[in-house]
Structure 1
Amino acid sequence: MNPHLLANIACGEDNQKEFSEPSLISLKLDLSVSINTIEVLPKNGVLNLRSFPLLNNIPWVKVLPDLEPKINTECWKFPTPQEGSTDFVNSKISTDKSSEPDTQELVELVLEKSLTRVKPLKDMFQFKERLMYLLQPPIEEVFTGKEVTLPFKPFPYQIKGIAFLMPRKSALIADEMGLGKTIQVIISIRLLFRSGLLKNVLIVCPKPLVINWTRELKLWAPDLPVEVICGNTEERKVSWNVSNTPVKLVNYELLTRDVIEGVAGNNFYDLMVIDEAQRIKTKESKTAQAVCSVQRDRSWAMTGTPIENRHDDLIHIFEFVDPGRVPKDTPPKMLASLTSESIIRRTKEEAAPDMPAKIIQDVFLDLTPAQRQAYDLAENEGVVHLNKLGDTATVQHVFELVMRLKQICNFDPRTGASSKAEQLLADMEEVQATNSKAIVFSQWVKPLEELASQLKAYNPLMYHGKIPSQQRQGILDKFKKDPDAHVILMSYGTGSVGLNLQFTNYVFLFDRWWNPAIEDQAINRAHRLGQKSTVFVKRFISQKTIEERIAEVLDAKRKLFADIIDNSGLPSSLGLNEEEIFNLFNCSPRKKIAA
């Protein structure tokens, strides 16, 4: 006879209803509870007790004059203790063969154990919090119903990351670059909102990533309104202090300025998330002080490089994640024991069984102010020139304008400013920290030369058409064998054909080629048979520019072709034709004269 601890769980008048599908449960209970473990003998749940200290003055437990309370057990009950468990008094293991589960029950038990549940933390003492997490269905089941729909199914390791984040008020997700930290955080936020545990969230990220966060939030949490804090001082003051948008997004620079100037106010947030948390590794910096000064209940940090140079980096990040938990003079050997409960980190190798061979991510970036000024001027002048040419305009005229605009998207011709270079530098920190290697592709040699000067810390190698043929193999050998050579800069023309760089994990397309087939050839330098790890590809696209328009046309053509002829490769004609090039500027090609 197995002992059980039975309890009645009721929520208002709907306590007798059955759940038709997995559902997130929100409980708002204020209970003072003491629980005594008891052995229940009769199956009908009727107990004869001299006293009943389980719950006091609760509406759904009726204490009769003879102190014989009846407890309804049909809604839910705590699970049977596992073998060897000491959680229950007088627990015994039954040897009765008739009580063993049949084959179907065993199959269901295995399936149940393979699902991911949110587990209450060891230091979570409040009954209502533990109960809320115990009652949640497995995360996988939440996504199979109609309540929470997702554009794509998360990988199993991402499900585990979500289960890790949800119950924690202090968390650092430190997965390696490319494993989808942003997706895990957004889904966790969405589920916590639906559970009633969050009402307002502040997300802080580097300026180049604001656009990407906006897009990811729209994709993975379309039901959550999002406001980007930007504009002049008065506009930002309204966003900070008047707007009640549930999710607010701000870059580090604006947050720091607005906290120092008092524009941000003294608002309280249920959750604050900081992306690229290494930005606050210097405790004395204005950025770190501004971030840590924001009042909040939950603190989540994201970084692929929690320790870049010294163990102090992690200590300073924990000043935000869990203030006071890690003393500033903590020796390195003590860090793990103090922080392990709040950190989750997976490497590419650990996640590899769950992942496809290649993951491609479009990274949308805003131009820097200098780039935007140069771009708008060049585009306006170019369109005026095309209009003046009228019917005499050729595809070559349009092509020249496109090339000029694409080059400005890479670097501002006057100041050298580049939002793409800023993002690449941030990504290369993670590449180096994980002892990985990366390929950077561009159409032109000039931006590669500019990048080489900015990436000196990563010992860049150059591989393009200007390199003499007899030197090229030596460059490739050095890239493969030199552990300090973390990046090779390649032009599409020389790097897209005939090379085998399967020891490379990361590929960055600094600018897009006209034809996706050429891009695929470039990516396949790293993604080839024999590649043991997933290849992560980032395609940089400047938002609200010719690059975004070209990407939309090429992606539409790629999708159309895939729908018609699947798994047949890409045709050579998948690039832009003459009419599509003219349409980039709402122009029409000149009419051909009939013979």
Structure 2
Amino acid sequence: MSRSAQGRSGRARAKGGTPRPRGGGRKQQATRPREKGLIPLLAALANDVDRALQRPPVRASVRTTFQVVALLVREERAAVKDDASLSSSAREERLRRLDGVGELLAKTAARDTSLLTLLAEDARVSDAARGLRLDVLRQAGRDVPDEPEPAHEPPAAPSPGAEKQVVPQSALSRQMANPFLAPSFGAAREQEAARPRRLAGWELLTPLFRSFEHDSPGVPACMALPERGSTAGATRLPLGRSLMPHQDQVVGAAARGHRTFLLADEPGLGKTAQALLAAQAADAYPLLVVAPNVVKTNWAREVDMWTPGRRATVVHGDGDDVDAFADVVIVNYDILDRHAGWFGTHGFRGMVVDEAHFIKNKSSQRSQHVLELSARIQQRTTRPLLMALTGTPLINDIEDFRAIWQFLGWIDEDKPRGPLMAALEATGLDPSDRGFFAAARSAVIDQGIVRRRKVDVAADIPSRRVADLPVELDGPAGRTIRAAEAALAERMVAQYRRAVSAREDGEPVDGVDLGIARAIATAELKDAASKKSGDTVFALVRRIGQAKAGLAADYAAQLVRNVGKVVFFAKHVDVMDEAEQTFADRGIGYVSLRGDQSAKARERSIASFTDDPDVHVIVCSLMAAGVGVNLQAASNLVLAELSWTDAEQTQAIDRIHRIGQTEPVTAWRIIATQTVDSRIAQLIDSKSGLAARALDGAVGDDAEPSASAQVEALVGLLVDALDAEAAD
């Protein structure tokens, strides 16, 4: 058989070869029948399916091959019985051989009984199955039409978790306010225009995945990007903000028309800002952002920082407070099932999936919802912006790529799509050619894979930086903390009112008397220090730390997946305990540095963290491990609780930012929004600026006389309460 005939049949490697089933991972070459005809082909394919089923996981294409073989056996039996030209002996011989194929299929189905659903009367026969059926018949020498006849498709099954779905009133209002959200099917037509021709019969997904397992020395997995500075005039940066050169390149690519990105930069390189500014350059609004719960508040903060002209809304629970008219809608994976319905008809022109390795398991509901939403956006919008953000696109296996590539529209269940298929066709190669793997890898990378490490862009970024990660304290814990903070403020307001009314001069107060406010704050601190428990500022800060513990540990676990070793700092033992329990539950190896440890135990913990590849986290007491410890095996640190002084924070960061550190250091500071935690962070930063002016000669605005962060935090709480009271 010629090579062109191979392309038409779609299943043969060489002359006289048998059809190649479309699934099965790393499978052997299809068994070659010794004689021509349909029955030998069916027997060979049935054997291939049986072998593939013994090496899980079973691909969808293997199931498709099983269904096609079974249907053709059924059709051939009926045709043989009705063929009057056959003698009795010839008819019996063919039926016997067909029964043999049927028995093999039955044994195969006994291993996986779900295959039997493919043979039900109402079973769906996909386009891939119809195409494979025609390929097999052509290979057997049968006269068949060039294209399959249209088949009736049964109604689509409801989306996973449809019974939980809600439609917020705000979303209904938006639909009524703008009924002209008609879909554009240009993207679908574009995909259809790129149907495979030369490679129509090849099973391509497995070779594509394998191409990333082949060593490619000196070939980075990063698409060609525009020259630095290419975003000039294409994006509107807020006053006082600028992009690092490596960020500018991705935004420049979006400005030039690129629309799909697997952005796999290491944490700390500003993937969030790149995604938001790429959306601005592509005018991809409204934009849907799907992110882990711990970072969804940070996404809203970054929208305000980088694209202040755009409104963001964060979806909580059933979305009662969502602003469906916002430009950027941010939702976490855990509640995506409730909102997938109205998201699908909202008219999104772009979608960003943060920590995209969360969708690697295609059988999970969150993966199915993400893929369904991506498919609906691609069907309704011409060239939407699709971005998958993850520092670790691969977790366990090269096939972790599958769901991410499908989200981006590069592949479907069975084959490459659109531009990727066109790029593979343009290579002039097929999987049997020596150079296919290198060409295929390049073709995939060019679709939009971007990977930079900190060490690669070290010249672009500071050697040390503190990155704030705001989180919202939901649920009973959050409500209790806010109530306690309100009670503390109310108590100080009452004291302030009494103090003002008792002034000897009797002069009216214009605004807030800061002298009285500081006196009340100082007295409150002294009173709090004498109490073992109760409604004090120290108790409040501790409860905030306890409420943040799980979120901080969750983020540290994400960092472990992305960058390896992580240092986790906390002030209180119960916060450390909860973090360690989180790491244990997730199978993450950890050690501890606590104040009650002996010197030998501390040395063992440090040595294990430094040298043992299975130990990924060291959980440290801010007081016990803040000095005299070298932990430069990590370049990322999580501050689960805030210190009252910049010096303590700096000492903690200096455990990894020290001589011997070869990478830029990032300290991730977890801050509870809408609590005194935010004020403490601001005060720490202001004290840091004061220290720089006093000790390093840094130039800056004159500062007020120094006061303790505790006093200033309470003063701020009191002033805010008085301002709110005056506004009412």
CA shift digits 1:440-465 (9 cap, x unpaired): 11112221122112112221111021
Identity among equivalent pairs (%): 26
- The DSSP-based 3-state class of the residue aligned with 2:348 is strand
| Structure-2 change in CA distance of 1:430 and 1:233 (3 Å) | closer
Q: 1:382-405: CA deviations, max 9, x gaps?
A: 556667888895413346622222
Which sits farther off after the overlay, 166-175 or 320-329?
320-329
Match of 1:256 in 2: 337
Whether the aligned pair in 2 keeps the contact of 1:190 and 1:224 (CA below 8 Å) is no
**1:188-207 equivalence runs, <5 A:** 188-193=278-283, 198-207=284-293
Q: Distance in 2 between the 1:286 and 1:360 partners?
A: 35
Structure 1 pair 352/575, CA: closer, same or farther in 2 (3 Å)?
farther
Is contact 1:170–1:300 with CA below 8 Å preserved after alignment? yes
Look up the SS of the partner of 1:488 in the other structure.
strand
Contact 1:367 / 1:419 at 8 angstroms: preserved in 2? no
1:317 aligns with 2:449: no
> Do 2:282 and 2:385's aligned partners in 1 also have CA atoms closer than 8 Å?
no
Aligned partners of 2:229, 2:486: CA distance in 1, in Å?
A: 55
Partner AA of 2:543 in structure 1: I
Q: Deviations over 1:295-321 (max 9, x none)?
A: 322321111111112222211111111
How far apart are the structure 2 equivalents of 1:417 and 1:441? 11
Q: Secondary structure at the match of 1:513?
A: coil
Q: Which has the larger radius of gyration?
A: 2
Counterpart check, 1:373 vs 2:479: yes
Indicate yes or no: 2:352 matched with 1:266. Answer: no
TM-score (norm 2): 0.54
Separation in 2 of the partners of 1:423 and 1:183?
19
Is 2:375 the counterpart of 1:285? Answer: no
Contact 1:479 1:488 in 2 (8 A): yes
Q: What is the aligned counterpart of 2:672 among 535, 538, 542?
A: 542
Is 1:484–2:614 an aligned residue pair? yes
Deviation at 1:467, TM superposition (A): 0.7
Once the two structures are TM-superposed, the CA of residue 158 in structure 1 deviates from its matched residue by 1.8
Describe the SS at the equivalent of 1:153: coil
1:216 is paired with a residue whose SS is helix
Q: Does 1:225 align with 2:311?
A: yes
Q: 1:448 to 1:579 in 2, by over 3 A?
A: closer
Equivalent positions of 1:313-462 (< 5 A) are 313-322=400-409, 324=411, 327=414, 336-337=441-442, 339-341=444-446, 342-383=448-489, 393-398=523-528, 401-412=536-547, 418-431=550-563, 436-456=564-584, 457-462=587-592
**Structure 2 counterpart SS, 1:537:** strand
Cα distance in 1, alignment partners of residues 364 and 478 from structure 2: 29
- Bigger Cα displacement from structure 2, 296-305 vs 151-160: 151-160
What is the CA deviation profile of residues 331-358 of structure 1, one whole-angstrom value per residue up to 9, with x for unaligned ones? 9979835631221111222222322211
Q: Give the Cα separation in 1 of the matches to 2:637 and 2:609.
A: 14
Root mean square deviation of aligned Cα: 3.6
Residue 238 of structure 2 contacts residue 305 of structure 2 at CA under 8 Å; is this kept in 1? no
Q: Tell whether the 8 Å contact from 2:676 to 2:713 is kept in structure 1 after alignment.
A: no
Stretch deviating more after TM superposition (373-382 or 321-330): 321-330
Q: Secondary structure of 1:494's partner?
A: coil
Tell me by how many angstroms 1:542 deviates: 0.6
2:355 aligned residue: 276
Letter of the structure 1 residue corresponding to residue 390 of structure 2: T
Q: 1:386 to 1:319 in 2, by over 3 A?
A: same
Shift of 1:418: 3.2
SS at match of 1:354: coil
Corresponding pairs, count: 436
TM-fit CA distance, 1:162: 2.3
Indicate the residue corresponding to 1:157 in structure 2.
246
Q: Residue 306 of structure 1 aligns with which residue?
A: 393
Q: Work out the CA distance in 1 between the residues paired with 2:541 and 2:467.
A: 20
Distance 1:500 1:405, change over 3 A: same
Q: Distance in 1 between matches of 2:706 and 2:645?
A: 6
Secondary structure of the 1:554 match is helix
SS in 1 for 2:459: helix
Return the letter of the residue paired with 1:403.
F
Q: Please say if residues 410 and 420 of structure 1, whose CA atoms lie closer than 8 Å, have aligned partners that are also in contact.
A: no
Flag the 1:517–1:563 CA change in 2: closer, same or farther, 3 A: same
Alignment of 1:513-552 (within 5 A): 513-552=643-682
Once the 2 structures are TM-superposed, how far is the Cα of residue 543 of structure 1 from its aligned partner? 0.6
Give the 3 Å change call, closer, same or farther, for CA 560–493 of structure 1 in structure 2: closer
1:263–1:410 CA distance, 2 compared to 1 (3 A): same
> CA deviation digits over 1:100-120, x for unaligned, max 9?
xxxxxxxxxxxxxxxx9749x
Displacement of 1:250 after TM fit?
Answer: 2.4
The one-letter code sitting in structure 2 at the alignment partner of 1:253 is D
* Deviation of 1:199 (Å): 4.2
Contact 1:155 1:355 in 2 (8 A): yes
2:268 and 2:600 map into 1 onto residues whose CA distance is 35
CA apart distance, 1:568: 6.6
**Would you say the 8 A contact 2:525–2:537 is kept in 1?**
no
Does the C-alpha gap of structure 1 residues 149 and 258 become closer, same or farther in structure 2, counting only changes over 3 Å? closer
Q: Distance in 1 between matches of 2:475 and 2:387?
A: 31
Residues 1:274 and 1:150: Cα distance change in structure 2 (over 3 Å)? farther
Do 2:550 and 2:578's aligned partners in 1 also have CA atoms closer than 8 Å? no
Aligned-partner SS, 1:264: helix
In structure 2, how many angstroms separate the alpha carbons of the residues matched to 1:368 and 1:479?
Answer: 33
Secondary structure of 1:411's counterpart equals helix
Residue aligned with 2:638, SS? strand
Structure 2: which 5+ residue stretches go unaligned? Answer: 1-223, 378-383, 418-430, 500-519, 721-728
d(CA) in 2 for partners of 1:515 and 1:417? 20
1:79-108: CA deviation from partner (whole Å, max 9, x where unpaired): xxxxxxxxxxxxxxxxxxxxxxxxxxxxxx
Counterpart contact for 2:583–2:589, Cα < 8 Å: yes
* Larger helix proportion of the pair: 2
- Output the amino acid matched with 1:154: L
Tell me which residue corresponds to 2:76: none
Tell me if the contact between 1:256 and 1:290 (Cα under 8 Å) persists in the aligned partners: yes
Measured after TM superposition, the shift of residue 510 of structure 1 is 0.7
Check the 8 A contact 2:225/2:253 in 1, yes or no.
Answer: no
Could you tell me how far apart the structure 2 residues matched to 1:547 and 1:234 are? 26
Mapped to 2, the partners of 1:169 and 1:481 lie a distance apart of 42
Structure 1: where are the runs of 5+ without partners?
1-115, 120-136, 589-595
AA paired with 2:365?
A: K
| Residue type at the aligned position of 1:402 | V
Aligned partners of 1:484 and 1:526: how far apart in 2?
19
